[in-house]
Amino acid sequence: MKVYGVTISPNVRKVLAALEIKGLEYEQISVLPGTKTPEFLAISPRGFIPAFGDGDFHISDSSIIIEYIEAMHPETSLIPSNPQDRAKCRWLEEYAGSVLFPACAVVFQEVVLQPNFYKQKTDEARVATALNETLPPIFDYLEDQAPENGFFFGENIGLADISVVSPIINAEFGKFHIDDARWPKMAAMVKRIKAHPVFVKLLMEEEKTIMGIISGELVAS
């Protein structure tokens, strides 16, 4: 199996985490967002990352990729079997992708990528809006959903957990910190997820990329 994308993308990280949790072998092929080469568009028609290959089969979109992986390798399931929990898990994945991710992406884009990668000035007003207006109600909602202990659906890490934590990691690269007085359950759960061996491994591998961006060694061509 092959995953096309860069690890610092939340959606790529989400797919890699799923493969790691299941203990599956894969190859990661570095492809930057916005790549529009004919070869990549043949795999990912919209040019989005991640894209995924399993032999001659190719598909894109992190949710669909994980759905495929789950169907092909149901052992160590990432999705609860209880119908209500299963639906709630899918909802949290959707919420993380459509609501949480865009807000976290603003922080990462403006604080990390704009000054260090694109050599452009950070839009401080845009960052302030994300931090002070957009993200707080999102975390208020997630705080209501988060468990006191363990993960969203028990003692095993799963799809909801990796979907929610991945964009938060990018916001943290942009110096965002979860207020553990206001959102104690979320702050604790994010720490638990990041302490999971799968995320320890992935974040160690990402460190060189992030340091390369921050140091200016990696810039947009």
66, 130: one domain? no
**Nearest alpha-carbon partner for 214 in 105, 114, 103:** 114
How many Å apart are CA 34 and CA 55, to the nearest integer?
24
Q: Is residue 221 part of a domain?
A: no
Quote the crossing angle between the two packed helices 184-195 and 159-173, to the nearest 10°. 100
Residues 87 and 186 in one domain: yes
Q: How far is Cα 17 from Cα 158, in angstroms, rounded to an integer?
A: 9
CATH number of 60's domain: 3.40.30.10
Do 183 and 139 form a contact (C-beta atoms < 8 A)? yes
Question: Is it true that the peptide bond before 74 is cis, omega within 30 degrees of 0?
Answer: no
Q: Which pLDDT value is given to residue 211?
A: 78
Query: Is the same domain home to 94 and 193?
Result: yes
Query: What is the pLDDT at residue 175?
Result: 86
Do residues 66 and 97 both lie within one domain?
Answer: no
What does residue 4 show for φ and ψ, rounded to 5 degrees? -105, 120
- In whole angstroms, give the CA distance from residue 110 to residue 192: 27
Within this chain, do residues 151 and 50 fall inside the same structural domain, yes or no?
no
Q: Specify whether 68 is located in the same domain as 87.
A: no
CB of 7 closer than 8 Å to CB of 209: yes
114 and 64 both lie in a single domain: no
Q: Which helix (H) or strand (E) holds 14?
A: helix 10-21
- Residue 138 within a domain: yes
State which of 14, 41, 72 marks the end of a domain. 72
One domain, residues 191 and 92: yes
Burial class of 5 by CB neighbour count within 10 A (0 to 12, 13 to 18, 19+): buried
Same domain? 57 vs 120: no
Any domain includes 180 = yes
Which residues are CB-neighbours of 6 under 8 A, at least 6 positions away?
Answer: 12, 30, 31, 32, 33, 49, 209
pTM listed for this prediction: 0.93
The answer on 180 and 153 residing in a single domain is yes
Give the domain range for residue 27.
Answer: 2-72
Query: What are the residues facing 29 on neighbouring strands?
Result: 4
Domain end residue (candidates: 72, 93, 116) = 72
Mean pLDDT by groups of 10 residues along the chain of 221 residues: 94 98 96 91 94 96 97 96 97 98 96 91 96 97 96 96 98 93 97 97 87 66 53
Tell me if 131 is assigned to some domain.
yes
Residue 77 lies in a domain: no
Residue 220, in any domain of the structure: no
Residues 110 and 169 in one domain: yes
d(CA 142, CA 208): 30
Assess whether 40 and 110 both reside in one domain: no
Give how many domains the chain has, as a whole number.
2
Euclidean distance between CA atoms 209 and 129, whole angstroms? 27
Name, in order, each residue with C-beta under 8 angstroms of 101's C-beta and a sequence gap of 6 or more. Answer: 10, 11, 167
Q: What per-residue confidence (pLDDT) applies to 207?
A: 83
